[in-house]
Amino acid sequence: MANAISPIQIPVTNGVVRSIAQVRLEVAGLSLPGGFASVMRKRTRNREMVYGNNADPIGKTTGQNAYEASVELYFDWYANLLATLRNNFGQGYGDQQFDMFLTYVGQNLNVYFDVIAGCTFDNDEINAQKGTSPLVSNVQLNPLKIYFGIPDGADYTDQMFDDNPDPLDLMT
């Protein structure tokens, strides 16, 4: 049966489904254990539909990727990250690019990681208000590229993990 559809492999989770407790965060070389409330990363491929002389499209363009990433850091971790960036990059640390690594761990679970590359501190805000809520800084990272779901030990720069490889790199 050459045209048989292979079922999607269901991961063995042993009843454990990952949550934020299984996420490890490293920003600009600084490990932030427990210092973040949330982390978000997103890729959107903006494409254009191509039409001929028919109502139905004949294809779509390769398009362009737009990447977003942000992290909500508790204040002391945020202050420590800023100090680290200043120490590593000096004046103008906001213009210096750095990478962020998200690692997904868990007992008896496969380890995966995402690489958010070419981040900069383009927008950060702290909202202090009355009540019992902790001080949290929301930092927009404006990345150049995101590599998703890399198996532990793999080289994320391998073209296999690139969602949009450069066609010139594929010509050999």
pLDDT value at residue 121: 85
User: Which token pair is 101?
Assistant: 């690594």
pLDDT value at residue 69: 95
Residue with tokens 């949009």, as numbered in its chain: 164
Handedness of CA 54, 57, 59, 60 (dihedral sign): positive
Question: Residues 36-56: what's their mean pLDDT?
Answer: 94
Handedness of CA 76, 81, 87, 93 (dihedral sign): negative
Which overall architecture, per CATH, does domain 20-45+62-158 show? Roll (2.30)
- Give the SS3 label for residue 23: strand
- Give the SS3 label for residue 12: coil
Helix locations, the chain, DSSP H: 75-89, 167-170
Parallel, antiparallel, or unpaired for β 112-119 and 98-104?
A: antiparallel
Question: Residues 158-166: what's their mean pLDDT?
Answer: 64
Beta bridge partners, 151, equal: 112
User: The whole model's pTM is what?
Assistant: 0.79
Summarize pLDDT for 58-115 with one digit per residue, the tens: 999 989 999 999 999 999 999 988 888 888 888 777 788 999 999 988 877 888 899 9
